[in-house]
Amino acid sequence: MGLPLTVHASNKAVAAYVRSGDLRSALKVFNAMPRRNTVSWNSLLAGYSKKHGRLDEALRLFARIPCPDVVSYNTLLSCHLINADLRGARRLFDAMTLKDVASWNTMLSGFSRVRAMDEARQLFSAMPQKNHVSWNAIVSGFARAGDMDSAEEHFRRAPDKNDVVLWTAMISGYMDAGNIEKAQELFDAMPTRNLVSWNAMLAGYVKNNRAEDGLKHFRKMLVFPQVIPNPSTLSSALLGCSNLSALALGKQIHQLAHKLSLIHNSTVGTSLMSMYCKCGELDDACVLFDGIQTKDIVTWNAMISGCAQHGHGVKAIELFDAMKREGVEPNCITFVAVLTACNHAGLLELGIQYFESMKREYGVEPESDHYSCMVDLLCRAGSLGKAVDLILSMPFKPHPAVFGNLLGACRIHKSLEFAEFSAQRLVESEPQSARAYVQLANVYASMNKWGDVSRVRKSMKQNDIVKMPGYSWIEVRGIFHEFRSGDRIHPQLDLIHQKLSEMEKRMKAVGYVPDLSFDLHDVGEDQKELMLMRHSEKLAIAFGLISTLQGTRLRVFKNLRVCGDCHNAAKFLSLIEKRDIILRDTTRFHHFSNGNCSCGDYW
């Protein structure tokens, strides 16, 4: 005999409310039911299992179930694991008189998720029966834990060689381990692929600093009409565009998001906004930000950080205040963005206030990045002594970036004592990095101490330290053109040099004077000027000027901090060429227009 309609209908209503996340309505219907069965109790219990922090209520509800079945036990087991109560889950599992394969899989997945792989291995071996979920859980767990040998062993033993989840777990594991070639080999050998497989490869390439390969993979994916990108796909592709400053492709993905009706998805919207920020289009990012209806902490952080990187410190602080008014609690990333904004805008006192209020008002413990921002802020303000005091007072070992910031400031403020202190600490932190040697040589060169420059270079050679080459690049009609200082290989080099000569004459005619302190060679002034005019930033700008229509905005990117002479030259070029020039280095964006820079020469 079937269930009475009222019980059956009520069960469906409770289940529907639980699926929608409306636990209050589910409970209201449940309490109003004149009769209940085990299905009724299980439906409501499932609501608690989906809500983090409701474990105590779930336990009380479970204790009231007249005749709990295996579904009841499995649901409570899931609730323990959702609340990160692994010990409680194991106690319940061991005490369960009713177990099915789902019970074993739930416990196995719990161990695998927290990388407790010794326990997972033991449980897997003891399982009376296994299905594809069991094999997926154990392989994913080993892959997530970075034990690819064990993952490979279980992958080979898995009975279903066509299980796309197994293959994808292995691909993600190898990508996480940085073994891109093995991941690609598995992807190529997959009997069938789905969207998750394609996404794993795309995200893996981008994560491993192979954004260009990732975007090639993305384009290849679009050839298959049955593979329809989702928010995760577009987010990874947009991150790749951000890393490469590939604005043209980023705009195409923006159009694709419209076509796929994903433009209002918060993940896609935030990724687009971040891409525009990192490609120099802050206005477009602001338009997207204003159009996002529900802004979470990630969205706010991206916009505040974007404004900070573009030198709009006051705007970033205004956004921070607006975020708090909206009831969104700042986190550690928020304060990195806010302190960066103060840093680039020279807001020393305000930066100190925010740093001191982090823990006191918001419970955010200052981390290495926050100290690094504060050291940089003090250094830019010329307070090198206070910066050193802050470094020495840190409650943990300072990050190498802290000494890098101090060392860079020593060149500007010509402080030899602090330069040698910070260089020594930087060498101790990064013994094989060229950064300390190069920056210390820059300090000596700025003081014309060429003997010391020679000594530093000799030390680099003796220790097999290789300097990272500086280069700049510019995107013209979807093609990236890369330049290094003194470039000799670009096919249009003769035209570029002609343009450089013209640029130099016109700049000098309106007051440009080369800053020879930015050339680190012990040669005559004429040779220094020639070398300065062959810096990678100027080569990229010259190429942009001869390759684009008059009035076109130029976007140049550099892998190191922009040279001070190139910064000065870009201001003159924006004036005489009547062009807006955007130059991004590792620190920030510089917007040059009509002879001025957005940084106000505070950088």
Q: What is the pLDDT of residues 234-272, one digit of tens each?
A: 999 999 999 998 999 999 999 999 999 999 998 999 999
Q: Which amino acid is at 184?
A: Q
CA 454, CA 444: separation in Å to the nearest integer?
Answer: 10
Per-position b or e across 536-558, b if 16+ CB within 10 A of its CB: bbbbbbbbbbebeeeeeebbbbb
Q: Strands 581-584 and 596-597: what pairing?
A: unpaired
User: Residues near 519 by Cβ (< 8 Å), separated by ≥ 6?
Assistant: 528, 531, 532
Backbone φ and ψ for 95, nearest 5 degrees, come out as: -85, -10
Q: Which amino acid is at 62?
A: F
SS3 582: strand
pLDDT of residue 259: 96
pLDDT of residue 48: 78
pLDDT of residue 3: 46
Structural Rg of the chain based on CA atoms: 30
Are 450 and 534 contacting, i.e. CB atoms less than 8 angstroms apart? no
Q: What is the mean pLDDT of residues 343-360?
A: 92
Token pair for residue 239? 């991150």
Confidence of residue 103 (pLDDT cuts 50, 70, 90): very high
Q: Which of 224-238, 495-509, 520-534, 563-577 has the lowest mean pLDDT?
A: 520-534
Q: What is the mean pLDDT of residues 447-461?
A: 84
Q: What is the mean pLDDT of residues 513-521?
A: 75
Are 279 and 241 contacting, i.e. CB atoms less than 8 angstroms apart? yes
Backbone φ and ψ for 363, nearest 5 degrees, come out as: 70, 20
pLDDT of residue 51: 66
424: left (phi over 0), alpha (psi -120 to 50) or beta: alpha
Q: What is the mean pLDDT of residues 405-430?
A: 84
Confidence of residue 487 (pLDDT cuts 50, 70, 90): confident
Confidence of residue 2 (pLDDT cuts 50, 70, 90): very low
CA 203, CA 192: separation in Å to the nearest integer?
Answer: 19
What is the average pLDDT score of the chain? 90
Q: What's the gap between Cα 255 and its chain centre?
A: 23
Question: Between the ranges 451-460, 479-488, 588-597, where is the mean pLDDT highest?
Answer: 588-597
pLDDT of residue 334: 97
Token pair 């390969």: residue: 213
Q: Which amino acid is at 285?
A: A
| Residue 603 CB-density burial (10 A; 0-12 exposed, 13-18 middle, 19+ buried) | buried
In 10 A of CB 397, how many CB atoms? 9
No. of helices (H) and no. of strands (E), the chain: 32, 6
pLDDT over 90 (residue 223): yes
pLDDT of residue 32: 81
Q: What is the mean pLDDT of residues 434-460?
A: 82
Domain boundaries, the chain: 193-294, 472-597
Q: What Cα–Cα distance (Å) separates residue 531 from each residue in 296, 486, 560?
A: 48, 7, 17
CA 204, CA 236: separation in Å to the nearest integer?
Answer: 9
Which CATH architecture fits 193-294?
Alpha Horseshoe (1.25)
Q: CA angle 527-533-535, nearest 5°?
A: 110
SS3 591: strand
DSSP bridge pairs for 592: 581, 597
Q: Which amino acid is at 85?
A: D
pLDDT of residue 602: 74
pLDDT of residue 460: 82
In 10 A of CB 87, how many CB atoms? 9
Outline where 310-449 has alpha helix (H).
313-325, 332-345, 348-362, 368-380, 384-392, 400-413, 416-429, 435-446
- Of 439, 542, 525, nearest to 485 by C-alpha is 542
Q: How far apart are the first and last CA of the chain?
A: 80
Q: What is the mean pLDDT of residues 194-219?
A: 96
pLDDT of residue 53: 62
CA 438, CA 273: separation in Å to the nearest integer?
Answer: 35
Q: What is the pLDDT of residues 286-342, one digit of tens each?
A: 999 998 888 999 999 999 999 999 989 999 999 999 999 999 999 999 999 999 999
CA 368, CA 396: separation in Å to the nearest integer?
Answer: 8
Sheet of 581-584, strand order: 479-484, 471-476, 554-558, 581-584, 589-593, 596-597
pLDDT of residue 49: 74
Q: What is the mean pLDDT of residues 6-21?
A: 77
- Of 257, 232, 247, 256, nearest to 278 by C-alpha is 247
Are 183 and 174 contacting, i.e. CB atoms less than 8 angstroms apart? yes
Percent of the chain with pLDDT over 70: 97
pLDDT of residue 6: 66
Are 282 and 309 contacting, i.e. CB atoms less than 8 angstroms apart? no
Confidence of residue 98 (pLDDT cuts 50, 70, 90): confident
CA 483, CA 537: separation in Å to the nearest integer?
Answer: 8
Are 174 and 207 contacting, i.e. CB atoms less than 8 angstroms apart? no
Q: What is the mean pLDDT of residues 439-455?
A: 81
pLDDT over 50 (residue 15): yes
Backbone φ and ψ for 597, nearest 5 degrees, come out as: -120, 145
Q: What Cα–Cα distance (Å) separates residue 414 from each residue in 379, 449, 451, 519?
A: 12, 12, 17, 16
Q: What is the pLDDT of residues 536-560, one digit of tens each?
A: 999 999 999 999 999 999 999 999 8
Confidence of residue 1 (pLDDT cuts 50, 70, 90): very low
Q: What is the mean pLDDT of residues 64-83?
A: 91
Are 193 and 165 contacting, i.e. CB atoms less than 8 angstroms apart? no
CA 40, CA 394: separation in Å to the nearest integer?
Answer: 57
DSSP bridge pairs for 272: none
| Residue 450 CB-density burial (10 A; 0-12 exposed, 13-18 middle, 19+ buried) | middle
Confidence of residue 224 (pLDDT cuts 50, 70, 90): very high
- Of 352, 434, 365, nearest to 396 by C-alpha is 365
